[in-house]
Amino acid sequence: MMPIWEVYRSLFHRSHFVHPRYTVSDFLAAILAKAALMVLEALLMRLLQALVTSSFRVMAPQAA
């Protein structure tokens, strides 16, 4: 089995479907890696949004 970074990189190459050394399991591993990266990116964006929002609340507290 190929290293996951090579399989992931091959997803963006035009001829990756016809290249004989890639198997279905390599392709599925690359899809799972892409999905994991997308989830990680979404979680990081939510964390960043929460940090920015909480910093604005600290800088400008609401009047009671």
Nearest-angstrom CA–CA distance, 30 and 5: 8
3-class DSSP assignment, residue 1: coil
- Please, what's the b/e burial string for 12-43 (b: 16 or more CB within 10 A of its CB; e: otherwise)? eeeeeeeeeebeeebeebbeeeeeeeeeeeee
This prediction has a pTM of 0.55
- Please indicate, yes or no, if residue 42 is contained in any of the structural domains: yes
- Tell me the residue range of the domain where 21 lies: 4-59
Residues 15-42 have a mean pLDDT of: 82
> Domain total for the chain?
1
Asked if residue 18 has pLDDT above 80, the reply is no
Indicate whether 14 pLDDT > 90. Answer: no
Model pLDDT for residues 36-55, shown as the tens digit of each residue: 999 999 999 999 999 988 88
Residue 39 resides in a domain: yes
Mean pLDDT of all residues in 11-31 = 72
